[in-house]
Amino acid sequence: MFQPLVIKDLVAKVPIIQGGMGIGISLSNLAGHVAKEGGIGVLSTAQIGYNTPNFEKSPLRANWQAIEDEFKKAKEIAKGGIVGFNIMAAQFQYDKIVKHAASIGADVIISGAGLPVNLPELVEGTKTKIAPIVSSAKGAKVLLKTWAKRYSRTADFVVIEGPKAGGHLGFKAEDLQSATENMDAEVIKIVEIVNEFAEQFNEKVPVIFAGGVFTKEDIEHYLSLGCSGVQMATRFVATTECDAPEDFKNRYVQAKEEDIEILKSPVGMPGRALKNDFSKRIKTEKIPIEKCRDCLSHKHCDRKTIPYCISEALLHSVRGNTENGLLFAGANVYRVDKITSVKELIAELTN
Ligand SMILES: Cc1cc2nc3c(=O)[nH]c(=O)nc-3n(C[C@H](O)[C@H](O)[C@H](O)COP(=O)(O)O)c2cc1C
């Protein structure tokens, strides 16, 4: 058995965080069940209300309400377990959304896709614990230095996302190979940096590794490098409790290694996904936006020049059009061979 993951007054029996997955992949059912089994369940705020009646008419309003509704449902399922949100720094109205999530009692907020420089001030006065997602020692240092200087505090925990993760990646496409080879050394460096800042504030700051974690041995490996836990996403997609439609999950089970590719995302980062008609199309075509649902800030998405709309692409894949949608997945998706329950998966990973 592993040691529990302790983040200040929060104690997760199992040192596994289920990574936030938008759009519509990690909602209340998945997050609630992971939390119930002792891990940390994470809702993604990306178009979180996509499945509610008012979404197409008023996406921002529907998402606002769904943040509350999904959190409440997840907490009910979790029966005292830890539930929080993944909120991308690139999200439209990031500040407002973080404040909203913290005000309704989010246990944790994890923010990547850009450096969440002002995250501390957005949760001030609440009990919400915060973590940036970083991919390099340099990024970790810059952010923690900024937080120390500006807010006289450090992170409550830090998530390192390596090059094998699903979704957007914090590496240039051409650097993925070398980053994969050097990641262990980078993890050790990041743990050192985090510990320096932790000491400065007389705190313990757990470091969590994400990206390609698949087995119990993988978890043991990252603990041996100085991490206190892992964040996993791909394996949680292939669970009965995952909020993704069956078709999406089946794509994971059927995926072979050659079905995975690195795509260009309109956010300006590379993304890892499964090959399909959509991934073929975007190589040669610019796909016009049908309608902007304000998912990303204007700084991160130029509505006029983007090659395709990330929300539309992700919405297709959860609305039964998996061939024409973006199917984010981690580098180890080809090793997924069945759909299991969250309980069985956590037992396999910890026993
Ligand atoms: C389908 C899918 C959607 C994801 N969506 C998000 C997201 O909205 N925001 C984010 O920060 N990370 C996102 N991620 C990254 C995960 O949270 C996680 O850190 C990463 O995938 C871990 O690697 P693994 O999938 O190999 O376990 C996504 C990953 C997947 C597979």
Return all residues near 199 (Cβ < 8 A) that are at least 6 apart. Answer: none
Pocket of ligand 1 (CB under 6 A): 19-22, 25, 44, 46, 86, 88, 112-113, 133, 161, 164-167, 210-213, 231-234, 328-330, 332
- Residues 59 and 49 sit within 8 Å (Cβ to Cβ): yes
pLDDT at position 71:
98
Atom of ligand 1 nearest to the CA of 19: 17
Atom of ligand 1 nearest to the CA of 161: 19
Rg (CA), the chain: 19
Return all residues near 19 (Cβ < 8 A) that are at least 6 apart. Answer: 26, 42, 86, 165, 166, 210, 231, 232, 233, 236
How many angstroms separate the alpha carbon of residue 20 from the centre of ligand 1? 6
Ligand 1 pocket test target in 164, 252, 328, 332 with most atoms within 8 Å of CB = 328
229-232 vs 16-18, strand pairing mode? parallel
pLDDT at position 291:
85
* Rounded Cα gap, residues 288 and 308, in angstroms: 6
Return all residues near 90 (Cβ < 8 A) that are at least 6 apart. Answer: 113, 114, 267, 296, 297, 299, 300, 301
Instruction: Pick the residue whose CA is nearest to atom 4 on ligand 1.
Output: 21
Atom of ligand 1 nearest to the CA of 211: 23
- Residues 120 and 96 sit within 8 Å (Cβ to Cβ): no
How many angstroms separate the alpha carbon of residue 167 from the centre of ligand 1? 5
How many angstroms separate the alpha carbon of residue 289 from the centre of ligand 1? 24
pLDDT at position 193:
98
Atom of ligand 1 nearest to the CA of 236: 27
pLDDT below 50 — which residues of the chain? none
Q: What is the largest CA-CA distance in the chain?
A: 53
Q: Which domains does the chain have, with CATH numbers?
A: 5-245+336-350 (3.20.20.70), 255-334 (no CATH)
* pLDDT tens readout for residues 47-94: 999 999 999 999 999 999 999 999 999 999 999 999 999 999 989 899
How many angstroms separate the alpha carbon of residue 21 from the centre of ligand 1? 5
DSSP state, residue 102: H
